Amino acid sequence: MTDPVYLDFNATAPVRPEVIDAMTAMMAAGGNPSSVHRAGRNARARVEEARARIAALAGCKAAEIIFTSGGTEANNFALAAFQGRPLLISTIEHDSVLGPAADRGMRLPVTADGLLDLGALQSALDDLETPPLVSVMLANNETGVIQPIADIAAIIHEKGGILHVDAIQAAGKIAVDFRALGADMMSLSAHKFGGPQGVGALVVRDGLPIPPLLKGGGQELGRRAGTENVAGIVGMGVAAMRALQELDGYQRVAAMRDAMEMRLRAISPTSRIYGSSAPRLPNTCCIDMPGVASELQVMSLDLDGIAVSAGSACSSGKVKASHVLTAMGVPLDLAGAALRISLGWSTTETDIERCLKSWEALFRRKSSASAIWTGASEKV
């Protein structure tokens, strides 16, 4: 049996071996970072070492990082911190932003390329009497489209607003600089760049007052109480360090992705690659196979040992038409036929070849079946 091919890095990246080693050693060492004895001081030192490593990846100060249980908590934390302000979000945000924003705020449209409509943002800001909180993702998890965050920040700050950036998909794939982006808050998640699941961070600009998410022992400078997930934080720190060291490697990933897309289009000339005319993450391809449901494509490739997805994973494990693509004006039937292939640092040319072979085989089967059906119908 051939080895499985993993091309779903945007859902979760494989945990790096050095991360597993560091976490195992930390769990064996033990210690509460709030304790003053040697074991406690050692745990505290490892937490702060990780904080510094993550700050280097994110382009922020170490003291601006608040550890959370993951990206969803970080996004919820940011939106809850300014409940008294109007809320603006884009229509293509992740469910961890759409969910807490369900009963408040305004949705901002995107262009057909998946970029935030800056004119709509400006108009919305002009219509508000109170400066808002605005949440915009840096890079979309389904199409990989990268937003012009620095330009967005300038527009928002001119009106006195606060900007939260969901950088969960971007960190570790492209250079991220919190300061240069002009963000006031930024969310990160360890498992997107080779760390463990269940740990993340919210970066909060120095001097920005926010209420605590959890009250209790005063951990994380009083903003999120509770004993820290030391092993998870250490793992996130090691993953951040490795991701920063290997950022240039994504040039190779981008070249593989681009070559793969050319061959996919050669197989199916009517297929569309969504977001390809805008800046994108180097690893992400979102392509449709007209007439073939996303779920069928995922299942067919999975039977061949290839893991891909149809947009964002939902808790039920079911596939649904992408809200991102429909927000970009894609008809529902095509949005329901889209597939996301997301590469990573361990992806090989052999992985790509196997994916192409499987996808082409499905395309040929469905095309042949369609031709037989059409011919039979014409004879009736």
CA-CA distance, 165 to 118, in Å (whole number)?
16
- For residue 227, the cross-strand partners are none
Q: How far is CA 128 from CA 106, 172, 209, 326, in A?
A: 11, 36, 22, 27
Residue keyed to tokens 């699941």: 197
What are 195's two structure tokens? Answer: 């760390």
**Count of C-beta atoms within a 10 Å radius of residue 177:** 14
CA-CA distance, 100 to 81, in Å (whole number)?
12
Contact by Cβ (8 Å): 7, 358? no
CA-CA distance, 284 to 316, in Å (whole number)?
23
> Would you give the DSSP letter of residue 169?
T
Residue keyed to tokens 């196979």: 289
355: annotated active-site residue: no
**Count of C-beta atoms within a 10 Å radius of residue 36:** 8
The one catalytic residue among 60, 286, 314, 355: 314
- By annotation, the residues acting in catalysis are 314
